[in-house]
Amino acid sequence: MIQSLLIGQLVWNLPLLFGLIGIAAFYGLLVLRFTDGSLLSKQPLFFLLSLGLLYITIGSPLTKISHLSFSLHMIQMSIFYFVIPPLFLLGIPNALFQFRPKIRFIHPSINKMSTARNSLVIFSILLFIYHFPIVLTFILQHPLFHKSYTTLLFCLAVGMWWPIVTPDPAQRLCPDRRKRYAFLSGMLLMPACSLFIFSAFLDGTSNPLLAQLTAHLCGPDGTLMGILPSPFNTKTDQIAAGFFMLGIHKCALLATGRIRDQDKKGQTSTGS
Show the 3-state SS of the chain.
CHHHHCCCCCCCCHHHHHHHHHHHHHHHHHHHHHCCCCCCCHHHHHHHHHHHHHHHHHCCCHHHHHHHCHHHHHHHHHHHHHHHHHHHHHCCCHHHHCCCCCCCCCCCCCCHHHHHHHHHHHHHHHHHHHCCHHHHHHHHCCHHHHHHHHHHHHHHHHHHHHHHHCCCHHHCCCHHHHHHHHHHHHHHHHHHHHHHHHHHHCCCCCCHHHHHHCCCCCCCHHHHHHCCCCCCCCHHHHHHHHHHHHHHHHHHHHHHHHHHHHHHHHHHHHHC
- Residue 104 domain flag: no
- Give the residue, 268 or 199, on which the prediction is more confident: 199
Question: Alpha-carbon distance 144 to 211, whole Å?
Answer: 19
Residue 183, Cα to own-chain centre: how many angstroms? Answer: 18
For residue 38, what are the domain limits? 2-99+111-267
- Residue 49 domain flag: yes
- Residue 231 domain flag: yes
Confidence of residue 16 (pLDDT cuts 50, 70, 90): very high
Q: Give the type of residue at 167.
A: P
CA nearest to 10, candidates 51, 80, 59, 55: 59
pLDDT computed for residue 109 by the predictor: 39
Question: Alpha-carbon distance 125 to 26, whole Å?
Answer: 35
Question: Alpha-carbon distance 3 to 42, whole Å?
Answer: 40
Confidence of residue 10 (pLDDT cuts 50, 70, 90): low
pLDDT computed for residue 200 by the predictor: 67
CA nearest to 78, candidates 244, 227, 192: 244
pLDDT computed for residue 184 by the predictor: 93
Q: Give the count of beta carbons closer than 10 Å to the beta carbon of residue 198.
A: 13
Confidence of residue 122 (pLDDT cuts 50, 70, 90): very high
Q: State the pTM of this model.
A: 0.83
Distances (CA, A) of 84 to 52, 72, 87, 111, 269: 9, 17, 5, 25, 29
- Residue 105 domain flag: no
Contact criterion met (CB below 8 Å) for 120 and 162:
no
Contact criterion met (CB below 8 Å) for 205 and 133:
yes
pLDDT computed for residue 78 by the predictor: 94
Contact criterion met (CB below 8 Å) for 229 and 2:
yes
pLDDT computed for residue 51 by the predictor: 97
- Point out the least confidently predicted range of 35-49, 93-107, 218-232: 218-232
Contact criterion met (CB below 8 Å) for 94 and 169:
yes
Confidence of residue 38 (pLDDT cuts 50, 70, 90): confident
The chain-wide mean pLDDT, for the chain, equals 80
Question: Alpha-carbon distance 250 to 248, whole Å?
Answer: 5
Determine the average pLDDT of the residues in 180-205: 81
Confidence of residue 214 (pLDDT cuts 50, 70, 90): very low
- Residue 106 domain flag: no
- Residue 140 domain flag: yes
Domain count, the chain: 1
